[in-house]
Amino acid sequence: MFRPVPLFIGWRYTGAKRRNHFISFISLVSTLGLTLGVAVLILVLSVMNGFDRELRQRILGMVPHATLSGYRETISDWPALIERVQQQPKVEGAAPYIEAQGMLTNQGRVQGTLVYGIDPAYEKQVSIIGNHMLYGELEALQPGEFGIVLGDILARILGAKLGDKVTLVLPEASISVAGVFPRLKRFTVVGVFKVGAELDASMAYVHLKDAAKIKRIPEGVEGIRLKLDNLFDAPVEVRRIARTESRQMRTSDWTRTHGNLFQAIQLEKKMIGLLLFIIVAVAAFNIVSTLIMVVTDKRADIAILRTMGASSGTIMRTFMVQGGVIGCFGTLVGTALGVVLALTVSDLVAWIEELFNFQILSAEVYFISYLPSQLKWEDVALICGSSLLISLLATVYPAWRAAQTHPAEALRYE
């Protein structure tokens, strides 16, 4: 059977036992370094992709993609405004809101809170909160009953459960004959939500009409929240929509509230990917050291091949095959290991947290409370292809040095 000489000899050299065991050790180290580098790169990029996905789905699923609000006054004709806005091609949903910042207290415990006044019938069009109710339902918010829905962490901080009473303290004073007092209102906990993010500790919902009463808004709402089909179009699209209205309106979007977080994740992904790719490159260039020592060890064999008629190109391709086999083996094993780790790291970390009874990511510190992972096959293909290319390039110089070996000089002392 016909066998290409460079492929056959290169494969035999790769698997052959060597007199110099140090060369075998360096070859093993090169392979393991390449394997670990590729695996870690795939794993880390998958985790960064997971953080990016969770930011979009959880954080940006709770906060509005964009908002339209009155410039100096409330919006009294908000149903008509919502109807007009929903006719825009890129708008998927719109909902009214009233926003208030204050403190919630219960049993001597106090926590700063962002309170949204919402209409449950509209809110499901712009928010995922209805899908993440831990206790109760969003529809339990009824006008005039002063019910409140708390985040899971917020409820635990306050020690509040369903049916408990909590007090909302607004940073506005009420003047009476008895003096100046902060504005207070008692609410009944009718629901608890959990999205596994920092919002669980800082956000609460009340009914739109109840929020209007505590903020003393006679009619209308402060603004409307928008959900777009592509959140990256929010800055441009919300300004375009505002220009179509006859009145002057204020605009805001998620890039002003959470844009820095998203940009930080993107920058970290690029920088960590670059640093880990350098590790892969260093591991791949260890192949240079391996092949140079192999060439030195095989000088006599090279001379014999040259005397038998092997050309310089044949010798060069032989050692490129040997280095390529090392690179391919390390890359493929590393790719398989990285894919397995990327698919199981979330469950593995959760198991470790349960086993040792501690939490690696706390929602009170980080914007999500677990380690996410999202494997993208385009990343795997890019990493695998780059590693193979670097491995192949690393074989060029040692193979060229082997091809320059002169038979007479190599066999002089044999």
pLDDT in tens, 298-340: 666 667 666 666 666 677 777 777 777 778 888 899 999 999 9
Residue 97 pLDDT:
92
Per-residue pLDDT, averaged over 255-274, amounts to 77
pLDDT in tens, 374-404: 898 888 998 888 888 888 888 887 777 777 7
In one-letter notation, the amino acid at residue 148 is I
pLDDT in tens, 77-97: 888 999 999 888 889 889 999
> Higher confidence at residue 358 or residue 158?
158
Instruction: Compute the radius of gyration of the chain from its Cα atoms.
Output: 32
What DSSP string runs through 329-359?
HHHHHHHHHHHHHHHHHHHHHHHHHHHHT--
CB-CB neighbours of 76 under 10 Å:
14
Going by the DSSP 8-state scheme, the letter that residue 130 receives in this structure is G
Q: How confident is the model at residue 411 (pLDDT cuts 50, 70, 90)?
A: low
Name residues whose C-beta falls within 8 Å of residue 151's C-beta, 6 or more positions apart in sequence. 192, 193, 194, 195, 199, 200, 201, 202, 203, 204
pLDDT in tens, 1-57: 345 655 556 555 555 555 556 666 777 777 888 888 889 888 888 888 888 787 777
Percentage of the chain modeled with pLDDT above 70: 82
Average pLDDT, the chain: 80
> Higher confidence at residue 412 or residue 187?
187
Residue 207 pLDDT:
93
**Tokens representing 352?**
């470790």
